[in-house]
Amino acid sequence: MEQKTKIIVCGAAGKMGSLIIQLALAQKDKFIVEAGIECKGHPLVGKLNQQGVPISDSLLEVISGDEVVIDFSISESAIDHLKICIDKKAPFVTGITGFSKDQFSYLKEASSHIPVFYSPNMSIGVNLFLEIIRFSAALLKEYEIEISEVHHNLKKDAPSGTAKKMADIICQVFKRDPEKVVRYGREGITGPRPFEEIGIHSLRLGDIVGEHYIYFGGKGEIIEISHRCYNREAFASGALKAASFLKNKPAGFYNMQNMIKEAIDVRVK
């Protein structure tokens, strides 16, 4: 029988954190929720949440080292939690998209000490969508490309991490420098669109969980590929799958592509 995965959820009272806890508790044969972490001064700190999980404001006080830490707090807090995970040799999973360049560099550096799983979008479906984009781009090198994304009005960063990843994939396939070709929206007299330009456009309205579109424009036709997410359960479920995937892995930097590949390899065997 497969050993249960023990988890600690940072950002436990947030939309993602609370849903991760809810789904984990519904899978008692697979997961044990040891604790939730929230910021100092949060009204739940020192109490049990609605599902009976103890909430603390200190990861250091509740971690033993045999848990997987799933972090959906904020970037500054996540880096603090990551330092504790390094000390405790605990695997770390996050899908936070607001990391600065220095913070992301530290995330990569930490992976030389512990297993770190990072994906800007934890949905299995959207990561298959990214692979479809990679495949399509290789066949559509004569087409112009635009990206758009739509999220709820409370999302803090723009463009989304997934939209940035889409642009990165295109640049990898076409061997373009993102710093030179990616353009965030347009305004004024912009002149003719350079062929190599990749436009990214962000919409924020209502309570839309997440929609991503990529357009390949050729002469006389446009190809549109899209992914729409209707609730956060797809992300929470993916985060739990990532925790199970990571728990026995050696130090390294892992992502959804690694997890999907492993799942395919196991099925093929």
Least Cα distance to 160 among 208, 103, 124, 231 occurs for 208
β-bridge mates for residue 48, sequence order: 54
Beta-strand pair 221-229/210-218: antiparallel
Domain identity same for 9 and 78: yes
How many other CB atoms are found less than 10 A from the CB of residue 55?
21
pTM (predicted TM-score): 0.80
Domain identity same for 164 and 201: yes
β-bridge mates for residue 37, sequence order: 10, 56
Alpha helices in the chain (DSSP H): 15-25, 59-62, 75-88, 101-110, 124-139, 161-174, 178-181, 233-246, 256-268
CA–CA gap between residue 253 and residue 17 (Å, rounded): 22
Which pLDDT belongs to residue 120? 85
205, 134 Cβ separation under 8 angstroms: no
Residue whose structure tokens are 């700190």: 45
DSSP 120: S
CA–CA gap between residue 242 and residue 9 (Å, rounded): 13
Which pLDDT belongs to residue 267? 59
185, 175 Cβ separation under 8 angstroms: no
Which pLDDT belongs to residue 1? 59
Residue 105, domain extent: 5-118+232-268
b/e map 168-187, b = 16+ CB within 10 Å: ebbbebeebeeeebbbeeee
3-state secondary structure of 65: coil
Domain identity same for 187 and 263: no
Which pLDDT belongs to residue 170? 97
Could you give the number of structural domains in the chain? 2
Position 56: which residue type?
S
pLDDT in tens, the chain (269 residues): 578 999 999 999 999 999 999 999 999 999 999 999 999 999 999 999 999 999 999 999 999 999 999 999 999 999 999 999 999 999 999 999 889 999 999 999 999 999 999 998 899 899 999 999 999 999 999 999 999 999 999 998 899 989 999 999 999 999 999 999 999 999 999 999 999 999 999 999 999 999 999 999 999 999 999 999 998 899 999 999 999 999 999 999 999 989 988 877 665 55
Domain identity same for 224 and 250: no
Which pair of structure tokens corresponds to residue 209?
A: 């969980």
152, 208 Cβ separation under 8 angstroms: yes
**Catalytic positions, written as ranges:** 151, 155
Domain identity same for 12 and 88: yes
Residue whose structure tokens are 């809810």: 22
Domain identity same for 13 and 43: yes
Task: Tell me the HSE value of 240 on the side-chain side, using a 13 A CA sphere.
Answer: 27
The enclosing domain of 154 has a CATH number of 3.30.360.10
Domain identity same for 225 and 237: no
Which pLDDT belongs to residue 264? 73
Domain identity same for 218 and 154: yes
CA–CA gap between residue 252 and residue 257 (Å, rounded): 14
Domain identity same for 113 and 194: no
CA–CA gap between residue 76 and residue 79 (Å, rounded): 5
Which pLDDT belongs to residue 126? 92
